[in-house]
Amino acid sequence: MINKYISNYFFLLFSFIPISLILGSSVSLLNILLIDISFLFLIIYLKDFSFINNRSFQYLIVLYIYLIFNNFISVDREIGLARNLGFIRIIILFVAFNYFFQKENFLKNVFYVWLLIIFVVLLDVILESFSGKNIFGYGSEYGRRVLSFFKDEPIVGGYLNAFYLTLIGFLFLKFGEKYKNLILFFSILILFCILFTGERSNSIKAIFGISLFYIFFRDYQIKHKFYFTIVGLIILISIIFSSDFLKLRYFYQIKSLVSDDKIYFKHYKSAYNIFKEYKFFGVGNKNYRIVACSKFREKADIINSEFGEPSDVLGSHGPKADKLVAQIEYVCTTHPHQVFFELLSEHGIFGTFLILFLIYKLIFSKIIFNYKELNYIQLGSGIYIILTFIPLIPSGSFFSDYLLTLFSLNLSIFYGCNKNLNIFFNSQNSKLK
């Protein structure tokens, strides 16, 4: 049992998570470390280590052991060391969520604060969509793309994606009987705000996400779901084609990307080429950039030497050289921009199989075999996790601080908000195996 001062302290730290993500990776990391360190002191003081025997916790430990192993076989051990060793913070955060979210009032109060924060971000996205500037004057870095409070990074759509289905599930769980149509309208508003950001991948995931949520939503009849789908599609298409910017982002540019095999498919091919050379264990976490850039420069130097400028890797030499450079099968970038190609190139067959197997045991098996037992909060967080693994859709680096934090939040909420799955409850009483 903990007193109200300790509970309020953790309530502030958990409530601050969405704001810390906006303020930057350093602030977010500091907030998570405060939660982790404080929770370790608390759990030692309470002597409550019942979670250690939980199978899901043990899966995360296996993943952590693998990441340490992965670091030893990496091309450059130093570059991925902090990322691999630092994964322990995700495990502790997962346990902390389970401990505090088993308390209904704690979960409810944290979600109320998160709803308020997300609502402010939504208003800011709408303001910037129409005025070109957000509340603080950000918005010119990427043309007409909406940045909101992130000021120099076009990631607000992904940020909203990570929270909105879970929070919509919470609203339905608390107020669905009286206000389900109002909540439906609110969820559609969030979807359109994500669309307004101009982030293609996150918009596609948001559309899939809300579709899956309402397909499995139990409080609407099938005919109502059908009507909502038709009306929603008509509104969606109308909005896209009424805006030159949205029409460019979601129609012409996607058409160009697919037809010309450009940009992202080059990243995928680059990652696949690295995978072919490092089939079993990959190049190591965060090492794609090292190998891809090295191989790109090797090929580019050969081409440049033919034109008398061996040091000018990115120089312009005319149509003939440009054609040769375009044939280089490696792209010098930080990551392959797609989760499966990232896993294959950095973890090989062995690591990819192990990671996906553990994700299956942690999430997919729970959803497949027990979806009728899941509450709406779990439905939302589970869908977010599923959408992380959509094939071919571009994504950020899975093990980066920002995306791993968003993923772990949804994973932690998925477990913590249901006593049948919460790792602090006796597994013998669990309905979800």
CB-based contacts of 345, cutoff 8 Å, min separation 6: 271, 272, 274, 275, 278, 282, 283, 288, 291, 336
Smallest CA-to-CA distance from 196 within 151, 234, 233, 160 is with: 160
Say how many CA atoms lie within 13 Å of 263 toward its Cβ. 13
Instruction: Give the pLDDT of residue 429.
Output: 41
- Triad 288, 393, 75: Cα angle to 5°: 10
Smallest CA-to-CA distance from 344 within 378, 391, 305 is with: 391
Instruction: Give the pLDDT of residue 395.
Output: 86
Instruction: Give the pLDDT of residue 325.
Output: 54
Instruction: Give the pLDDT of residue 259.
Output: 44
CA 234 – CA 331 distance, rounded (Å): 39
Token couple for 315: 């120089």
Instruction: Give the pLDDT of residue 140.
Output: 64
Instruction: Give the pLDDT of residue 142.
Output: 62
Say how many CA atoms lie within 13 Å of 422 toward its Cβ. 17
Instruction: Give the pLDDT of residue 171.
Output: 94
pTM of the predicted protein model = 0.88
- What backbone torsions phi and psi does residue 51 show, to the nearest 5 degrees? -70, -20
Which residue blocks in 73-155 are alpha helix, DSSP H? 77-85, 88-101, 104-131
Instruction: Give the pLDDT of residue 360.
Output: 94
Summarised one tens digit per residue, pLDDT across range 255-304 is 555 444 566 778 888 889 899 999 999 999 999 889 888 878 877 776 66
Q: Where are the domains of the chain?
A: 4-220+335-429
Chunked in runs of 10, what are the mean pLDDT values of the chain (433 residues)?
84 96 94 96 90 93 96 90 93 96 90 96 91 79 78 89 94 87 89 87 90 84 76 76 69 52 75 91 91 80 62 49 60 86 94 95 87 88 93 86 94 92 66 38
